Amino acid sequence: MSESNVSADPGDYNEASAERMGGSRPAPRGTASYNRRRAVKACQVCRARRTKCDNQKPSCSFCLKVGAKCIQSPVDLSTFDPASLKILERLDELDRTMKTLASRTDPKQTRFSSDLSKTASSSIPIELIPPGPEYIMTWGVFGDLGQGVAAIGLSESGPATSCNQYPLQSPSSPKSDLTAELDLCRVNHLLDNFFNYAHVKNPILDEQAARRMVQSIILHGIDWSAESCLTLLICALGCIARPFGPTLDTMPGTSAYVSAETLFHAAQRRIGIAFSSEDIISTQCLFLSGVYMMCIFQPTKAWRFFLQALASCQQPSFLNSLSPPTSSTTCDGSPASHSLETLHQAIYWSSWKSEREMRSYLRPTDFTLTEEELAFYPPFLPTPPNLHLEQELEANGDSCVTRQTVSWYFYLAEISLRRLASNLYTEMLRFCEQSFSSQGTLEALVGAVPHYEEQAQEWISSLPFCLLFDAPAEEDDICRFVLRGHAINLYEMIYWPFLSAYLMKDFVVEETQGFLPSASWNIRRLAQKALDYHALRLSVNKPGYRHRHHGTLLLIQSCSRSALVLVAAALRNITNTAQNSAKGAIVLKLPNGWRVGLDETIDMLAFWENESRQLASIRHVLQAARQKIQ
């Protein structure tokens, strides 16, 4: 046998056999179903020149060479077979569906969704952070009560000009004389108000140095310096700062409110220097401007000031002050109780926590916080001033030292509580990320709750004597009142996933389907605890319902949320009883006195609604729900 016969290609034999049997090569599959034609692929420039186009992306060689805009035709579907066309059609439908769903999704609501669980198999939603009232009003349990109201939200809080008898005074038209407001005797009274009732919650100033500065500015006259701006802001806050209790004499239209507006607008004419200066006084001006805006229910403007103050703290002079403070002297050469590092750290912390509070409150679209950012906290604590030195310098035993001591105890206690809340949230977030279902997340959180409760109780037990919660809430001063409210906020966060799972879904249906076979009883127990704390919040915060201060708007938000949650629980009980009366409905017990707390919350919203139009919307929903559950 020859070598050529051995190496003959089998393909040649197959082709020869086909020619002998059929006379021609069989046609490829699919050609009978559509007509093939050459697709036009040249870009518009090459097509106009009638030249060959190499179809380079994103620009062909000729267009790239001459700098022309290369416009290439879309894909010519004539070159595709029917199966490919069908696939493309289905992909187009899927793309349109996803875009439609994305357009209907509210980004403010998705923040509180249960997407933290990457492969959740249960339909029970998991929420870690209690949302705002505007989101709670969208829950299905409210039905049509919140229709048209929830979309308004709280992000644009402002004066209800349609019903406000005293609209905000414009900066160009003050209604009182600035010189009359700055009489030396009156200024001393305003200083006392400011340091006794406003500065005590955010001790960013050296009180003795600030008093000397203000008195010097008043004696020598107001100029256009940052010191004059700070003086005017201190006096403006002193006009509306009051002892803890109802502040009816600071409502819009009162002499105190008009005086505060006059002084604040005068300060704003001088605050431009704060944006270009690097000294600490400029940062203090920005922060106190934000505090004033919070006091008059302007959260968006307050957030802008807090954001600018925090940005001002990002200078090397601030960041280098994280080291232990050194001793310093005042401008007259006497030793200072507050070192520059202490003041830097204090204004940094106050700006940071206030900006974070307002960003969580407003949820601005371009400044949303990721889950990791929500769990972040600065690694250092502010260093308290040397108050023993100041006490030695005071020969008359003034109460200034005692006030500053309590103020710094409060300041550090509040910061430590916020850090504890941040740590607990980080751990809860880790449970969500590690679990494959909402059921698994809830079961993991059930096991962690005793540890969280223990840490919260340890924080309460570690409070200094002047801030202990031993006395009834009715006897609280402003510092103890605020701390007690923050402690309830912590417990609310611990129990919130269980209460939201109960209120946002038909819990009975989930149990019958076997979603929560082992943890259902614990979830109901912890949901009941959460409900009790919401009722406790309304009781504890009642003394501050008509008190104007830096945190009034945040208090209104949290109490409105608690009132809505109690109403939602009552409505859920009604629904569960109606649907499962035969086999026994699963309901949560409404705490004693919850109706009284609800009525008092409605009255609080009515009291403040002239200064924030969204409060009237929440009040209407609560009143409608109150009538429905009678």
The C-alpha atoms of residue 84 and residue 75 are separated, in whole angstroms, by 13
**HEC letters along 429-440:** HHHHHHCCCHHH
Phi-psi region of 253 (alpha: psi -120 to 50; beta: other; left: phi over 0): left
Partner residues linked to 328 by β-bridges:
336
Tokens of 486: 């923050």
The C-alpha atoms of residue 81 and residue 196 are separated, in whole angstroms, by 81
CA 343 from chain center: how many Å? 26
The C-alpha atoms of residue 303 and residue 357 are separated, in whole angstroms, by 9
Report if residue 56 sits inside a domain: yes
As for how many domains the chain has, the answer is: 2
Report if residue 556 sits inside a domain: no
Report if residue 226 sits inside a domain: yes
Looking at 327, 346, 368, which one is the last position of a domain? 368
Report if residue 283 sits inside a domain: yes
Looking at 53, 72, 91, which one is the last position of a domain? 72
Whether 188 and 62 share a structural domain:
no
**Which CATH number characterizes residue 49's domain?**
4.10.240
Partner residues linked to 329 by β-bridges:
335
Report if residue 126 sits inside a domain: no
Whether 209 and 62 share a structural domain:
no
Q: Which residues, at least 6 apart from 70, have a Cβ–Cβ distance to it below 8 Å?
A: 43, 45, 58, 59, 60, 63, 64
Q: Locate all alpha helices (DSSP H) within 313-399, ordered by sequence.
A: 316-319, 340-362, 371-374, 387-393
Lowest mean pLDDT among 87-96, 135-144, 598-607: 87-96
Whether 186 and 65 share a structural domain:
no
Using alpha carbons, select from 593, 577, 574, 614 the residue that is nearest to residue 149: 614
The C-alpha atoms of residue 511 and residue 501 are separated, in whole angstroms, by 12
Per-residue pLDDT, 439: 77
The C-alpha atoms of residue 332 and residue 327 are separated, in whole angstroms, by 15
Residues 272-320: pLDDT tens digits?
Answer: 988 888 889 999 999 999 999 999 999 999 999 999 999 998 876 666 6
Report if residue 536 sits inside a domain: no
Whether 219 and 335 share a structural domain:
yes
Looking at 368, 395, 425, which one is the last position of a domain? 368
Report if residue 352 sits inside a domain: yes
Whether 61 and 183 share a structural domain:
no
Residues 77-95: pLDDT tens digits?
Answer: 555 677 777 787 778 778 7
Q: Which residues of 290-301 are buried (b: 16+ CB within 10 A; e: fewer)?
A: bbbbbbbbbbeb
Whether 187 and 51 share a structural domain:
no
Per-residue pLDDT, 426: 87
The C-alpha atoms of residue 61 and residue 52 are separated, in whole angstroms, by 10
Residues 434-467: pLDDT tens digits?
Answer: 877 777 788 889 999 999 999 999 999 999 999 9
Whether 60 and 194 share a structural domain:
no
Using alpha carbons, select from 596, 528, 537, 587 the residue that is nearest to residue 561: 537
pLDDT above 80: residue 543: yes
Per-residue pLDDT, 108: 46
The C-alpha atoms of residue 364 and residue 540 are separated, in whole angstroms, by 30
User: In what helix (H) or strand (E) does residue 216 lie, and over which residues does it extend?
Assistant: helix 207-220
Cβ proximity of 459 and 420 under 8 Å: yes
The C-alpha atoms of residue 296 and residue 231 are separated, in whole angstroms, by 19
Whether 191 and 315 share a structural domain:
yes
Query: Which one-letter DSSP state was computed for residue 591?
Result: P
When mean pLDDT is compared over 113-122, 171-180, 203-212, the highest value belongs to: 203-212
Tokens of 11: 């393909």
**Which residue segment(s) compose the domain that 332 sits in?**
175-368
The C-alpha atoms of residue 247 and residue 540 are separated, in whole angstroms, by 18
In angstroms, what is the C-alpha Rg of the chain? 34
Report if residue 574 sits inside a domain: no
Higher pLDDT, 210 or 440: 210
What are residue 550's phi and psi, to 5 degrees?
-55, -35
